Amino acid sequence: MAALGGGDRERQRNGIGMTSARTRTRMVDRLRAAGIKDELVLAAMNAVPRHLFVDEALAIRAYDDVPLPIGHGQTISQPWVVARMTELARNGRTLGDVLEIGTGCGYQTAILAHIARHVWSVERIGALVAKAKRILTSLKLVNVSLKHGDGSHELKEDLAVDAIVVTAGATLVPTALLPHLKPGGRMVLPLAQPGDEHGVQRLTVLDLTPAGIKEQTLDAVRFVPLLSGLA
């Protein structure tokens, strides 16, 4: 297969028709109408070409507000969920370091990289780490560090971050991650709640305050489960 030339790579990033920059702008307009208010987050959603993160056969649906399969039993989250989690993580602040648990194909990683100084992302499935690395490198996002690791347990890293974004559904708060939060830091994750139907979680915000952890439960969402072990 011939390598892409510079112009070909640029056209692939920009897209045509249903994958064009104009289609991305319409997606952002829908996100704004659906309640996403953070203009920095909306600008990031507009800047990142989502069609590059899905299989070519699904590119025509890349800007629909739906999750899409990325292989290995995983999905790329719907744009509204990505924007909402990013907005919650930022919380109007300037973000320095951010830890993401569950890189997947790297789309949420790319959005975070547009608003944070550095993104540290951990993924348990090696093939997805490789895929995300290829795409993020093609987008010249140099403020991202990827790791093939188990984000459901202690990371054994000397890492202090302003926010943690967990992109898989948990049944319990992953308390091993909390020591990585700086004072005033925030974790955003989909967390199963008593009474929720099977497979449904709630976006949950945990703030590290001087008085301890403050928890808020927000929107209903549906994520693949947070699993342990490497694959």
Predicted TM-score (pTM) of the model is: 0.91
Q: C-alpha distances in angstroms, 69 versus 47, 61, 77, 134, 137?
A: 22, 11, 9, 18, 22
Digitized pLDDT (tens) for each residue of the chain, 231 residues in all: 323 234 444 545 666 566 788 999 999 999 999 999 999 999 999 999 999 999 999 999 999 999 999 999 999 999 999 999 999 999 999 999 999 999 999 999 999 999 999 999 999 999 999 999 999 999 999 999 999 999 988 888 899 999 999 999 999 999 999 999 999 999 999 999 887 777 799 999 999 999 999 999 999 999 999 998 999
Domains, in order of start, for the chain:
6-221 (3.40.50.150)
Q: Decide if 145 is catalytic.
A: no
Supply the DSSP symbol for 146. Answer: E
Among 77, 121, 138, 228, the active-site one is: 77
| Sign, CA torsion 98/74/20/10 | positive
